[in-house]
Amino acid sequence: MKKRIAILGSTGSIGTQSLEVILHNPDKFEVEVLTANNNVNLLIEQAKKVQPNAVVIANKQKYKQVADALSNEPVKVYAGADAINQVVQMESVDLVLTAMVGYSGLIPTYHAVKAGKNIALANKETLVVAGEIITKIAHEKKVEILPVDSEHSAIFQCLAGEFINPVEKIYITCSGGPFRGKTENELRNVTVNDALAHPNWEMGNKITIDSATLMNKGFEVIEAHWLFGLAPSKIDVIVHPESIVHSLVQFEDGSMKAQLGLPDMKLPIQYAIGFPYRIKNNYQRFNFLDYPTLHFEPPNTKIFRNLALAYETLDFGGNKPCILNAANEVVVDAFLKKKIGFLQMSETIEKALNNVAFIEKPSLDDLIETNAEARRVTKLLIED
């Protein structure tokens, strides 16, 4: 029985690598649905190659272009955000791999979980914004949320077979990004290109900036809180520049388990979609002689404020992490467009967190409103 997969965000970095993994294992997986935001050409190329049941282009203005190009293929073509919310519920879908960028992942994931679909989660913002709501429905519907994020995949792998043993602490490793060790003054004038040059991982622009500011790590702390049901005090971040140890779990006897491997997203992708099976492959193997020394150091949350802000919003709860995410998406976009400097990103986020009304028990609608309001407020702060 092949697992039939819907890839949301198939033209992005995780989407294309997921497709690679799936095409390597045609006996195990089948692509049922592909969705993309704007990248029409790649979506068409992918659809011709893998012949999914359906594709969705989120940007409705590009519907005709996709439909015309695929008119001779047995592929259904839809457009718009609502169509994405529909296709994830299709009976023929076994697993939904969520690889869209940012907040846009939330509502489709919500619909997929409600429809009882297992999730391979590559969109951490879903849990940052609405972790409580999503994990509650997932529990009710007996839906598995399988992490694609490499750190969470590592923790998930360390926990395999340990379900009766409480976790004392987890350590999420962090490469430190391109600006590890830099002073505040040095950071004042770094450029977009400097920030996009990640030392170890090849990723999309948004997450690469998030890695440089450590917001990505902050989001991962929140993601881990919801995925593994751990109090924030049990979640630690440790900087590990080589990105070989992907994270660690410490049990109540003090024993620690770690998961190691070369930094290649195809490994966590394949663990998530193949779970509970490990799939044989011929990817490059880790060689100790290439890495005779591995380094670890504490993160600097005074300079990289975003990580501290993420812990604060997690303690606060309610709609605070949603505000954090919305403000972050706006400032990252402004930084990429060279409207603000590197350090202004966390300064602006901090102001936004204090300028949007707090809701202690937000509904999904409250979060949708909070997201819109936080974006509005953050844009105003940037224009000031």
Rounded Cα distance, 103 and 329, in Å? 8
Min separation Cβ 367 and Mn ion, Å: 23
Residues numbered 135 to 174 that lie near Mn ion (CB under 5 A) are 149-151
Least distance to Mn ion from the beta carbon of 228, Å? 15
In the bound state with Mn ion, the residue whose beta carbon lies nearer, of 151 and 329, is: 151
Distance in Å, CB of 150 to Mn ion, minimum: 5
Instruction: Select 52 or 178, whichever has its Cβ closest to Mn ion.
Output: 178
Q: Minimal distance in Å, beta carbon 85 to Mn ion?
A: 26
Say how far residue 105 (Cα) sits from the centre of its chain. 9
Please state, in angstroms and as integers, the Cα–Cα distance from residue 357 to each residue in 329, 345, 370, following that order. Answer: 18, 20, 8
What are the tokens at 32? 């049922």
Q: CA 109, CA 124: separation in Å to the nearest integer?
A: 11
Nearer CB in complex with Mn ion: 247/250: 247
Q: Any idea which residue has 């409580």 for tokens? A: 132
- Report the alpha-carbon distance of residue 115 to residue 95 in Å, rounded: 11
Residue bearing tokens 């992708």:
269
Say if residues 99 and 148 touch (Cβ distance below 8 Å): yes
- Considering beta carbons, is residue 79 or 145 the nearer one to Mn ion? 145
Q: Which residue, judged by CB position, is nearest to Mn ion in the bound state?
A: 149
> Judged by CB, which is closer to Mn ion: 30, or 151?
151
Where do we find the tokens 């622009």?
205
Return the half-sphere exposure (C-beta side, CA atoms, 13 A cut-off) of residue 334. 23
Nearer to Mn ion, 125 or 149 (CB): 149
User: What is the C-alpha to C-alpha distance for residues 105 and 107, in angstroms, rounded to an integer?
Assistant: 6
Size of the site for Mn ion (CB under 5 A): 3
**Contact predicate 128/149, CB 8 Å:** no
Q: Which two tokens stand for residue 316?
A: 């606060």
Nearer to Mn ion, 30 or 149 (CB): 149
* 210 binding Mn ion? (CB under 5 A): no
CB of 271 to Mn ion, least distance (A): 14
**Nearest approach, Cβ of residue 53 and Mn ion (Å):** 30
CB 52 within 8 A of CB 78: no
Residue at 127: amino acid letter: L
Shortest CB 199 distance to Mn ion, Å: 14
Give the DSSP H/E element, type plus range, for residue 256. Answer: strand 256-260
Q: Compare residues 57 and 237 and give the one whose CB is closer to Mn ion.
A: 237
What is the per-residue binding string for Mn ion in 95-134, x denoting contact by CB under 5 A? ----------------------------------------
Q: How far apart are CA 70 and CA 51, in angstroms?
A: 10
Distance of closest approach, residue 247 Cβ to Mn ion, in angstroms = 9
Q: Which residues bind Mn ion (CB under 5 A)?
A: 149-151
